[in-house]
Amino acid sequence: MLRSMYSGISGMKNFQTKLDVIGNNIANVNTFGYKKGRVNFKDMVSQSISGATGSGDNSGGINPKQVGLGSQLSSIDTIDTQGSLQTTGRVLDIGIQGDGYLMVERGDTTYYTRAGNLYLDDSANLVTASGDLVLDKSENPINLGDATKIKSLSIANDGTINYLIDGNDTLQEKGPIGVARFNNNGGLEKIGDNLYKNTVNSGEATELNPGENGAGVLVSGTLEMSNVDLSEEFTEMITAQRGFQANTRIITTSDEILQELVNLKR
């Protein structure tokens, strides 16, 4: 069978994966803290028809002759660039300006997120929209006591939570909210619910206070938007679509050649 047909098949599979990633990016264009994905390709193994030869006394060298056998997936990157901060005016909405992730606890496991739409539950625990406990630098849950008596709550850039208790004019302080940094943010694994977990290639988390040793600061009253650029995604979609069509044309042309070969003897 023709090598070009199988090269076209590999190209179609790869461009389908690229379209899958683009579709997910567009679906999450308004997801708080979402980091877009990017697909990279690389060539597959090449079949050598003849090797290279060096130059002689009366002749020059000859380059190798190779036929490529298609393409394959190289990587699907998580592009960890800063999303724009949208002002909400809600105190418990916090955006991270700079590097780092909020630390949250689900069960006995610590996960990481950039989505800062936080809430107080019925026990005055600081939680995410999914009910995960928000942690401080020491990975302890943050609890504000009696939620029904809290008033005048504010969150500083360093993650410190200041508030007053009804009937008590003494300023209360909790936190600060912890921020985790990694050697390789691209090595984090997405697990859904706007959460990431560390992997062997991301490195272990370094727990810090906001603004400490390169960690980002917290901006209360804002939320970090997705870093998806729709104009870029639509351009990539057109590129992927045309690439897919070109590979289908390779298969069609290869099929026509095979048909001619079959029809040589009638």
Number of domains in the chain: 2
The range of the structural domain enclosing residue 132 comes to 88-224
User: Are 97 and 217 within one domain?
Assistant: yes
CA-angle at 223, arms to 160 and 103, nearest 5°: 50
User: Are 19 and 111 within one domain?
Assistant: no
Between 72 and 262, the more confident residue is 72
- For 44-68, the pLDDT digits (tens) are 888 888 889 888 888 888 899 989 8
- For 174-233, the pLDDT digits (tens) are 889 999 999 999 999 999 999 999 999 999 999 999 999 999 999 999 999 999 999 999
Distances (CA, A) of 186 to 16, 81, 249: 22, 10, 35
User: Are 217 and 94 within one domain?
Assistant: yes
User: Are 34 and 12 within one domain?
Assistant: yes
User: Are 92 and 190 within one domain?
Assistant: yes
User: Are 140 and 115 within one domain?
Assistant: yes
**pLDDT exceeds cutoff 70 at 96:** yes
In whole angstroms, what is the distance from residue 70 CA to residue 186 CA? 27
Q: Is 57 inside any structural domain?
A: no
Token readout for 161 is 């939570």
CA-angle at 187, arms to 183 and 193, nearest 5°: 115
- For 17-50, the pLDDT digits (tens) are 999 999 999 999 999 999 999 999 999 888 888 8
User: Are 145 and 45 within one domain?
Assistant: no
User: Are 256 and 158 within one domain?
Assistant: no
User: Are 110 and 220 within one domain?
Assistant: yes
User: Are 104 and 29 within one domain?
Assistant: no
User: Are 234 and 187 within one domain?
Assistant: no
Q: pTM of the predicted model, to two decimals?
A: 0.88
Q: Is 123 inside any structural domain?
A: yes
Q: Is 208 inside any structural domain?
A: yes
